[in-house]
Structure 1
Amino acid sequence: MNTQKNDILKTIFLNSFTNQRILAEESGHSLGVVNRSIRELMQDGYIDKSIRPTNKAVEEFKQKAPKRAIILAAGFGMRMVPINTEIPKGLLEVNREPLIERIIKQLHEVAIKEIYIVVGFMKEKYEYLIDEYGVELVVNADYASKNNLHSVKLIKEHLENAYIIPCDIWCDQNPFHRYELYSWYMVSDLIDNESNVRVNRKMELVTVPESSGGNAMIGICYLVKEDADVVAKRIDELCENHWYDGAFWEEALYNNDRMIVTAYVVHSSDVVEINTYEQLREIDSHSSQLKTDAIQVICTALEAKEEEITDITVLKKGMTNRSFLFTCKGKKYIMRIPGEGTDQLINRRQEAAVYQALDRKHICDDIAYINPENGYKITEFLEGARVCDPSNYEDVKKCMKRLRAFHDLKLKVNHEFDIFGQMEFYETLWEGTPSVYKDYEKTKANVLSLKPYINAHAGEKVLTHIDAVPDNFLFVEKDGKEGIRLIDWEYAGMQDPHVDVAMFCIYSLYNKRQVDRLIAAYFTEGCSDETRIKIYCYIAACGLLWSNWCEYKRNLGVEFGEYSLRQYRYAKDYYRIVQEELKKQGEEK
């Protein structure tokens, strides 16, 4: 049966037949479609001459009736900043009712009690639903590094006659039914530039060119058995390819340029996907969750009202923090919220002391607020700024000139960044878990053996950035002149300034030729062999330092891919390079 006949048969089944005109109104199809469908349904044996469902129709309804539901609730909900630092998105409340509870109740209304919830971020917050509603929680351990395609993979054996539902949906009317006759995917009549599908005349969902706009994708889907089998197989295939680690599960619905399921179009006012703080404020301006701690800090720091905080946009998740951009009183700001485990890694009082030392030096970003207790920070947004491109040598030379000028100020603070001490400290945070690297102990011993050379050749200790990586050099233009600001001073402290040169190299994933070229850009007057070898030592030591840091973050569920592997390689490779250089020096003497 086609979609039209299915709709009309379902309307007859649920409401009984009165006349064709009423049937047209109830089914949403034209009178001509109704008349043609009735004839064909009779011919196919689904309705009798009195236009009542036959046993064949009843059996069809039984076979395709919804049996279960899967709610996807594993993700960070990154666009929900700043609320997502305090609560998972499925537990956002509209009219004092958590979104996920409303979904569960609507499912119960149509007798669906077999409900699986895939959780990850703040998974413990959902535990009460097991007792409250009899749901089953399925944990996605990879929620931080992979998208919801991998969540659906965990429950692919339950896709038959199932609803798949995102947890951040608010539906005014119940979108679920006791009976379904075909697979569908829900979109709204709203045009959305982020959507890559549109509904054609045949109610098919066809792909559209990127950024050309399509029907807003709501994300609720229903799958009958034959389509569920196809989707399950497709999910297995996609998950074998790391290219799809960041993919949405909807990728499994596509066959070339269209989805294999029919469009289910709803009015945009009836179903709302709550992705952002402002969307929640729009649908429920009295929600207690709008009074999140971060928003209250902004109001106090900038002497603003909540409604004056607009255009909240998540920035790329950093390795240490979550940050978001917002506008207040016509001016743009960035707020930093410390990430997972940061309280173990960063001394916020020391960071505040660094910013005090930098005050009015025009070296860093302009601070509007910083809290030395919890690390919340508000900075003025630098319009039109761009980060350093480590592959562009002109950029690199300018950054090294700026870095050298900062070092030459010889600023002082009362704390030191101890590379080897921090290395050991990060290792203690593993809490007895052995390193993931088989030869870690040998690598560590080799790196520690470089310490005497470093101590013998270390220069005067001054305030050093420590995290002087390309992304932290911002090129800004003011009054027609280009300048460079250094941002993110969380690790800064007293240290040999040449550590910053090493840090730039390892974050840029430079090879030795690029390392030597960077050293030449910093030391325009020329660099002695002893200093160059010392920087190689720092590369080895800092490589192991950040490798240990990555191992700690990995235990928290935060994965850094190639970066962590390359840091460990720096520890091994540059220990070897130092030995070769020292041997060469000995032979020359």
Structure 2
Amino acid sequence: MHILDIIKSVFNLQNTDIELIPLKQGMTNDSFIFSINNERYIIRVPGINTEKIINRHQEYDVYQAIKDEEFVEPLIYIDRDKGYKISKFIENSHTVNPKDWNEINACLKRLKEFHSQSHRVEHYFDVFEHINYYESLMPNASKYEDYKETKKNIESLEPIIENLVKDWALCHIDAVCDNFLVTENQDVYLIDFEYAAMQDPDLDVAMFIVYSLFNRQEIDRIIDIYFEHQATPLKRYKIYSYIAIVGLLWSNWCEAKQDQELLNSSYAQQQYNYAKTFYQIVFDEARNLPEFCELVDSYA
């Protein structure tokens, strides 16, 4: 009933009957479709403990910054405190298929265009701070026996990354295939800006990669697409470093959620594997790259 009250208040309705149709149960929210005057909308309902993970005031600021952006979800209403959100339903669309390289090309192009805009907010996403924060939310020690060693390795990448970051822009942070919609006209929309903040756009490329569990060959292909085959070896190892870092980030996020089904999923395990595997790739291979060698040796 509370959800219906919100809808009626936003649309100034009195006795209208509204049917809520479940759309999806996400990792942090639930979504429902409803119709008013033959127009369809989506209401997002924050999940349990979401307030510990998402800063709704910051999300509100992001939506204000991007409100004139053509290819983001058409926002109708957002609650700055509790996180309820209503947007227009994008008809005849579907989430990007991570196995369809034409769709991957299209959404990486859209992501790059979004990064090139001059959108600005006052907050930024500190990935290492979030790693520690999600760790603090874990009810017990990590399920992974070598967690302390893995975290120490990932932390050794921080000063390297800090010396490589060049550009800052408003980033989606959760730039995963599920947050891109492709219409029948092949327009691509970005949706769900819960985590968005100022950051290095290369981090968004890593975020896109880890969610869909791409292997290294596919990862290199994605890097080539985004950078139009102009990525230097230094850029490639920088993104490998980000893959390792965000692998631990989302692994900790999974443990912080305290959801056993999620924690035992292939997604959660693969995030931790990304942290270990791509740290080792950077450590073993990047030292052969002159531009990277000095940084790796200094902080190994």
Q: Are 2:153 and 1:446 aligned? A: yes
Q: How far did residue 583 of structure 1 move?
A: 2.6
Q: Are 2:113 and 1:405 aligned? A: yes
Which residue, out of 319, 325, 329, partners 2:37? 329
Q: Which has the higher helix share?
A: 2
Quote the residue 2:192 is aligned against.
Answer: 488
Quote the residue 2:14 is aligned against.
Answer: 305
Q: How far did residue 391 of structure 1 move?
A: 1.2
- Percent identity over paired residues: 42
Q: Which has the higher strand share?
A: 1
> Contact 1:474–1:486 at 8 Å: present in 2 too?
yes
Q: How far did residue 586 of structure 1 move?
A: 4.8
- Give the counterpart letter for 1:390 in structure 2: P
Matches within 5 A, 1:352-367: 352-367=60-75
Which residue, out of 104, 109, 112, partners 1:396? 104
Quote the residue 2:183 is aligned against.
Answer: 476
Quote the residue 2:58 is aligned against.
Answer: 350
> Contact 1:304–1:328 at 8 Å: present in 2 too?
no
Q: Are 2:170 and 1:466 aligned? A: no
Quote the residue 2:227 is aligned against.
Answer: 523
- Give the counterpart letter for 2:112 in structure 1: R
Matches within 5 A, 1:6-155: none
Q: Are 2:138 and 1:434 aligned? A: no
What secondary structure, in the 3-state scheme, does the structure 1 residue paired with 2:122 have? coil
> Contact 2:248–2:271 at 8 Å: present in 1 too?
yes
- Give the counterpart letter for 2:22 in structure 1: V
- Name the larger-Rg structure: 1
Q: How far did residue 556 of structure 1 move?
A: 4.9
Q: Are 2:3 and 1:294 aligned? A: yes
- Give the counterpart letter for 2:221 in structure 1: R
Deviations 1:292-323 (A, max 9, x none): 2111000010112353313x211221011011
Output the CA distance in 2 between the equivalents of 1:298 and 1:445.
47
Which residue, out of 35, 45, 48, partners 1:340? 48
Which residue, out of 554, 574, 583, partners 2:278? 574
Output the CA distance in 2 between the equivalents of 1:530 and 1:363.
31
Which residue, out of 262, 287, 299, partners 1:559? 262
Decide whether aligned partners of structure 1 residues 541 and 587 sit closer, same or farther in structure 2, where only a CA change above 3 A counts. Answer: closer
Unaligned runs of 5+ in 1: 1-291
> Contact 1:475–1:482 at 8 Å: present in 2 too?
yes
Task: Indicate the larger mover: 576-585 or 374-383.
Answer: 576-585
Q: How far did residue 453 of structure 1 move?
A: 1.4
> Contact 2:234–2:292 at 8 Å: present in 1 too?
no
Which residue, out of 196, 200, 211, partners 1:507? 211
Decide whether aligned partners of structure 1 residues 528 and 410 sit closer, same or farther in structure 2, where only a CA change above 3 A counts. Answer: farther
Root-mean-square deviation (CA, aligned residues, Å) is 1.7
Matches within 5 A, 1:176-191: none
Output the CA distance in 2 between the equivalents of 1:450 and 1:512.
19
Output the CA distance in 2 between the equivalents of 1:579 and 1:306.
64
> Contact 1:295–1:306 at 8 Å: present in 2 too?
no
Quote the residue 2:296 is aligned against.
Answer: none
Q: How far did residue 588 of structure 1 move?
A: 11
Normalised to the residue count of structure 2, the TM-score between the two structures is: 0.93
Quote the residue 1:375 is aligned against.
Answer: 83
How many residue pairs end up in the alignment?
292
What secondary structure, in the 3-state scheme, does the structure 2 residue paired with 1:436 have? coil
Q: How far did residue 329 of structure 1 move?
A: 2.2
Output the CA distance in 2 between the equivalents of 1:334 and 1:529.
43
- Give the counterpart letter for 2:117 in structure 1: L
What secondary structure, in the 3-state scheme, does the structure 2 residue paired with 1:378 have? strand
Which residue, out of 418, 439, 443, partners 2:126? 418
What secondary structure, in the 3-state scheme, does the structure 2 residue paired with 1:374 have? coil
What secondary structure, in the 3-state scheme, does the structure 1 residue paired with 2:43 have? strand
Deviations 1:159-187 (A, max 9, x none): xxxxxxxxxxxxxxxxxxxxxxxxxxxxx
> Contact 2:206–2:239 at 8 Å: present in 1 too?
yes
Q: How far did residue 389 of structure 1 move?
A: 1.1
> Contact 1:369–1:378 at 8 Å: present in 2 too?
yes
Unaligned runs of 5+ in 2: 294-300
What secondary structure, in the 3-state scheme, does the structure 1 residue paired with 2:44 have? strand
Normalised to the residue count of structure 1, the TM-score between the two structures is: 0.48
